[in-house]
Structure 1
Amino acid sequence: MPRYLLLQVTACCSILGLFIFLLILLPLSFSYIDYYDYGLEQRKSTGKVNTDRVYNVGRYWLGPDKKFLKYPADQQILFLDEVSVFSDGGKDSVGLTFLVDIYLTYAINEQEVGELHRELAKSYRSVIESRTNDAIKNSAITITFSDYFENRKTVEAQFREAVQARWNSNPQLHVTLDQFHIGRIRIPKTVATKQLEALVQNERTAKEQYLQDARLEREKTAVQVNTINLQTDQLLRNTKAQAALIVANANAKSEEIKLSALNNGTRDLLQSIGIKSQNETIAYTYIRNLQNRENLNLMVSYLSDENIVKTSAS
């Protein structure tokens, strides 16, 4: 009887021990992945990581000697404060060194988490930051200083393309750039003073050029005005000369017509009154001319035998 009881007690203890062992072992054999993580199998005893399979959100049976090495599945934020860049000099300014704040987000490519771990492991963040700095500095040398204020969207797009291209260069970072923004631009006092002096000099040069252009335009205008005045005077003189010639020709033609009409009328008159001799014709013409003079009063009465016409001044 005691032997039987001993066996029962032993069996109960074994079952209880097995139950306790399973109770402890089972929770240790399950591993969990949250929605914001990716996971790779890692053996606890050796630290070896299996990069062949990438786990996403869920609960998995891995065994008590395994766990998940997790990588972020959501967007990661990178702030780069006061990145020193050198701008392109361009046509109207010299190159300047100043500071730019960069804000961006990126995400790890799910199917490439294993490759990311094999190549970079947990140091990928520092590599991303280093490559981002290099890409921005190399791209900035092709952008003029004024573009950072006048064409900010264009500058952001160029920086974004440069960063993504640098990330994709071998060895790749296995991440994708999402948001990218240029923050505050800090200009050192010495740089601001230098830029201001350059802008003032540009304005002075533009002012001098404007004054020279204005002086040249005034001279051109004066020449054009003088030319127009000369042309006007010449046109007026030509017009007056032509008008005088036309008037003179008209007067001459008028006198010619009048004289012709007078001669014809006198001839017809003399013929009608029967004056035919040369002396009588001359006497008639003389008397008519005297009548046409305004400062003489001509009175003709019966002529004496001498046929003398007497006149008196009016």
Structure 2
Amino acid sequence: MGSTKSWTIGLCVSAAVITAIVVVVMCFSYLEYYEFGFIRQRSTGIVDLSKVHTAGRQLLGHDYEFKAFQADAHLIELDDIDVFTSDKLEVKLTVYFQYFLRKEDLSLLHAAYDVYYKDLMKTSAEDAVKGATTTFNTRDMITNRAVLEATLFKAVSDRLGGTCCRLNCSAFLHACPAGCKPRGTCTTEDKGLFADVRYFQLGPVSISSSVKERFMKALTLQEEAEEEKLKQQAQVIRKNTKAEIKTILNEADEILAQGNATANYIRSLSEANYTATVEKARTEGLKQIFTRLGVTSQGYKNSFDYVRTLRGLSHVHISVDFQQLIAGNLR
């Protein structure tokens, strides 16, 4: 009888201990390293938004638990989005981006969307991508990938993150975009969807066969137009070159003619000066000869001058009256 009573007491104590352990365990709530959240009352569903709790274990009580949100990167893939370019052609592109919920704005996110924000983030990002591609033509979509990626990154970041400056402007690329509002003046609408897009990657850009044909036709026409333009420019250049050559040749002929005229003038002037100098010297010499020889008759003077002139001619030979040839010029 005593052993039965002891066994009953022991069973009750064990049950009480186990119950206490279970109750104590149930009073603890956990947040993983990749989570943060708010405290929520199980019985009423009321959420305390006054504080955002981070990873760890806390004794909240059996009627309380954590309402968790994802604290690490949300990985989004927008596959084969149909977008239109500025030249009205349809193109498919794929983008990948990673966004993080902002801890300081988590209460605003909860008030606006609760835990049902993921689809909204995805559709909003897709709308931002479609709107940003309308400034690019089909060629730019293929050849200017770096510019396209940067533009899409900025568009998605602005759509999800809003126009409010972040707490740390150096945290990521578009933390404080140009013209962002200081946090002290920001409204709820300025904060976008309360998420930061920190990383963005542009995937494949594909064009349908029909669009490719239209694109190639447009490129061909453009190249043909460029070719015709270059041909016309070449013709103009050739004509201008021929005209320049003709002008240069004319100028050369003018310069040559002017040079020849100047040379002839200088030569004639030199010859005239030479003749004048020689004649002056001859006259002076004859005057001295006639003076020294005492020749006064003008006839003798003219005869002497005549014989001297004949003597200076290379094709004239002088001989005496009796038919005897005097070789060479008279000395």
Q: For 1:177, what is the secondary structure of its paired residue?
A: strand
Residue of structure 2 in register with 1:28 after alignment: 26
Change over 3 Å in CA distance of 1:296–1:140 after alignment to 2: closer
**How far, CA to CA, are the matches of 2:312 and 2:14 in structure 1?**
170
- Using the size of structure 2 for normalisation, the TM-score is 0.79
Deviation, structure 1 residue 149: 4.2
5 Å-filtered alignment, 1:1-314, equals 14-88=12-86, 94-169=87-162, 170=189, 172-300=192-320
Distance in 2, matches of 1:249 and 1:294, equals 25
Q: Aligned equivalents of 1:253 and 1:15: distance in 2?
A: 153
Q: Residue 242 of structure 2 aligns to which amino acid in structure 1?
A: A
Equivalent-residue separation in structure 2 for 1:10 and 1:313 (angstroms): 184
Kindly state the Cα deviation for residue 197 of structure 1 after the two structures are TM-superposed: 1.8
Q: Deviation digits for residues 153-204 of structure 1, max 9, x if unmatched?
A: 3332322222222124538422221211111111112222222222222222
Whose Rg is larger? 1
CA distance in 1, matches of 2:30, 2:310: 147
Q: Considering only aligned residues, what root-mean-square deviation do their CA atoms show, in Å?
A: 3.0
Asked whether the 8 Å contact 2:138–2:215 carries over to 1, the reply is no
Q: CA deviation at 1:79?
A: 0.6
The code of the aligned residue for 2:26 comes to L
Which amino acid is the alignment partner of residue 254 of structure 1?
Y
- CA 1:313/1:194 → structure 2, altered by over 3 Å: closer, same or farther? farther
Residues 40 and 55 of structure 1 are in contact (CA less than 8 Å); yes or no, is this contact kept in structure 2? yes
Q: Per-residue deviation at 1:16?
A: 4.2
Between the aligned partners of 2:299 and 2:17, the Cα distance in structure 1 is 180
**TM norm structure 1:** 0.83
The worse-fitting range, judged by mean Cα deviation, of 18-27 and 183-192 is 18-27
SS in 2 for 1:115: helix
Structure 1 residues 293 and 155, CA, compared in 2 at 3 Å: closer, same or farther?
closer
Q: Aligned partners of 1:64, 1:37: CA distance in 2, in Å?
A: 21
The answer for unaligned runs of 5 or more in structure 2 is 163-188
C-alpha deviation, 1:48, in angstroms: 4.3
Question: Per the alignment, do residues 109 and 310 of structure 1 end up closer, same or farther by CA in structure 2, a change over 3 Å counting?
Answer: same
Report the Cα distance in structure 2 between the residues aligned to 1:117 and 1:5, rounded to whole angstroms. 59
Point out the more displaced range, 23-32 or 228-237. 23-32
User: Structure 1: which 5+ residue stretches go unaligned?
Assistant: 89-93, 302-308
> Hey, what's the Cα distance between the residues in 2 that align with 1:300 and 1:260?
31
